[in-house]
Structure 1
């Protein structure tokens, strides 16, 4: 199997304890960015905004 799209990112959405928030990554990949849920526990919330801005759905628009 091969990926359809590879997205480079400045970082991953991680909690302050270092756990990767896979739920947020999944929602961005599914273009369901309206309901990301609680992002207050993220170490760097700006990473999520960068991922959304550079997502496949925004690049093709």
Structure 2
């Protein structure tokens, strides 16, 4: 997950460096990246809970 985050940040920097307007493209990339990571973390938490990994010990 860290690799995809770094690659997305690099893509945003490349767009701005190539003359793109940051106010048009960068917020959408950042928003998408944030929402995707949140969804993945929430999915893992739900998956762990349904598989019983978060149950207290005996």
Is this a same-fold pair by TM over 0.5? no
Query: TM-score if structure 1 supplies the norm length?
Result: 0.30
TM-score by structure 2 length?
Answer: 0.31
Q: Which has the higher contact order (CA 8 A, sep 6+)?
A: 1
